[in-house]
Amino acid sequence: MQDLTEQILELVRLAATDLPADVEAGLRRAVEDEQPGSAARNALETILKNVEMARQESTPICQDTGTPIFYVYYPLGWSTRKLKEQIRQAVARATALSYLRPNSVNALTGKNTGNNLGDEHFPSIHFEEVEGDTLAVELMLKGGGCENVGAQYSLPNSDLGAGRDLAGVRRVVLDAVYKAQGKGCAPGILGVAIGGDRGSSYYGSKEALYRQLDDTNPDPELAALEGTLTAEANQLGIGPMGFGGQTTLLGTKIQGLHRLPASYFVSVSYMCWAFRRRRMAVRAGQVSYA
Amino acid sequence: MRKLNIPFSDEDIRALKVGDPVAISGVMLTGRDAAHKWMVETFVRGTRAPQGDDLQVYEAIRPLLKGGAIYHCGPVVAGLDTGDYRFVAAGPTTSTREEPYQGDVMRHFNVKGVVGKGGMGPPTLAACSEVPGVYLHAIGGAASLIAQSVQRVLAVYKLEFGVPEAMWVIEVKDFPAVVTMDSHGGSLHAEIAARSKSALEALL
């Protein structure tokens, strides 16, 4: 089996230092919507300057390099045990090279391991066997500030007048955006899962974030809701950094998960503007990045 | 853009209003969750007895915080193996987690500038009026850019808290921020929260 430690290290470096094109394009559009000289516009201009600098200098876009979340899609023949070892080694090396901040601390003592290697869940690695001959590794670096403003609702929710339907979903998601204010580093991107159990629902909300910002949900009802939620969240006027302004969200991504008849969860993962996610593909020994 | 030097005078602080962009120069101290909890429990409320180098660190940080600034930041630092430290990425962290401690820390140490992101609540706003102090909002995520304003790392205390949670003494030049809470009771965060709440109610 091919050793991919070096290639995964490059995936981590790219994720930490080089903002994906779709996110940068969203930020560039957002600048144009803000009044010249406003705090919101200044914030976005600073953000874009920082994005360019991080790319040029190969330094982290944000100092909170977050939880490294890996999704590995492997064809038959790869050893997940070896891949996991290589991912962990790459993460430790990326930390030594200052692409990542040492972010893994003991839950009880708070002691930092110093190399981003914690227990089985840090870094977070998911494996799934797939058809075909391409190995794909998706990586997201999700910071703590935005993770802390994520929310999960159990519908119905009478306080918010939210029933068990898409109208109810709309109400609770807008509530989550309002409660987040600027604390998750707006403008944000929402990953939303409808359904599942409490655990799978939160995972689903993160999986939704691996989609491209400018793609269209294949489900027309969800596609419409994604557009509505982004537009309505932007009417809240929270704006970049919570300074007030036109752009509170750059986008919304929703997926449904089968659920129990008794449960109707809506889980919201808030991703900050520093939406660091990268993909690596390996086919016939050739490695490519997106 | 108003230039400000650390330590701040009361006049400097009273002259600042919500919305003012500032460029800060001088020596500031980073401190976030572990540092705030440690300062308050050990020295402000005294619910925990000082241990190890606590008292020495206290004596070292007191003059730095007097009229000074505390920065809610967990940096990426190079040179950890040699001790020749350099900030690689150093944007602000979410300040609201320090809400239970911040007012007490400001009063105890006479901290006049709290630098972070996301804003803080009524207890900190009250301390801003009393001390007096201001909340200075840096741009969240702009870590590479902000690191450029860090000229030197002068010292580090409580490295056992881990790199993000340690208290780093840094010399900054033209550190960019915006005043979002002032010493006259003004808070951009309270204003935006109220406005967005009305907007939300109208939508729902």
Its domain, for residue B85, covers 2-203
Percent of chain B whose predicted confidence (pLDDT) is above 70: 100
Rounded to an integer, the average pLDDT of A240-248 is 98
* b/e map A220-259, b = 16+ CB within 10 Å: eebeebbeebbebbbebbbbbbbbbbbbbbbbbbbbebeb
Confidence class for position A1, pLDDT limits 50, 70, 90: confident
Residue A32 pLDDT: 96
CATH 3.30.360 segments of chain A: 5-15+61-143+276-289
Question: What is the domain count for chain B?
Answer: 1
**Partner B contacted by A228 (CB < 8 A):** no
Radius of gyration over every alpha carbon of chain A, rounded to an integer in angstroms = 19
**A144–B94 C-beta distance less than 8 A:** yes
Q: Which amino acid does the sequence have at A279?
A: R
CA dihedral (A107, A148, A151, B198) positive or negative: positive
Adjacent-strand bridge partners of A153: A266
Rounded to an integer, the average pLDDT of A96-105 is 97
**pLDDT over threshold 90, residue B1:** no
Q: What angle do CA B178, B196, A41 make, to 5 degrees?
A: 35
Alpha carbon dihedral A113, A114, A119, A121, in 10-degree steps, equals 140
CATH value at residue B115: 3.20.130.10
Active site residue B184: no
Confidence class for position A147, pLDDT limits 50, 70, 90: very high
Predicted-complex ipTM score: 0.95
For chain A, how are helix, strand and coil distributed in percent, rounded to 5?
40, 25, 40
For chain A, the straight-line distance linking the first and the last C-alpha, in angstroms and rounded, comes to 23
User: pLDDT tens-digit profile of B72-129?
Assistant: 999 999 999 999 999 999 999 999 999 999 999 999 999 999 999 999 999 999 999 9
Which tokens go with A240? Answer: 């970049």
**CATH assignment of A5-15+61-143+276-289, among 1.10.287, 3.30.1490, 3.30.360, 3.40.50:** 3.30.360
Residue B145 pLDDT: 97
User: pLDDT tens-digit profile of A175-196?
Assistant: 999 999 999 999 999 999 999 9
Our CA-based measurement puts residue A233 at a distance from the nearest CA of chain B, in whole angstroms, of 9
**A181–B193 C-beta distance less than 8 A:** yes
Mean residue pLDDT of chain B comes to 98
Those residues with Cβ within 8 angstroms of residue B25's Cβ, 6 or more apart along the chain or in another chain: B3, B4, B5, B6, B172, B173, B174, B175
Percent of chain A whose predicted confidence (pLDDT) is above 90: 99
- Nearest CB partner across the interface for A53, out of B145, B189, B203: B145
Chain centroid to CA A42: 24
User: pLDDT tens-digit profile of A25-75?
Assistant: 999 999 999 999 999 999 999 999 999 999 999 999 999 999 999 999 999
**pLDDT over threshold 90, residue B186:** yes
Rounded to an integer, the average pLDDT of B158-163 is 97
**Partner B contacted by A178 (CB < 8 A):** yes
Check residue B73 and report its DSSP letter.
Answer: -
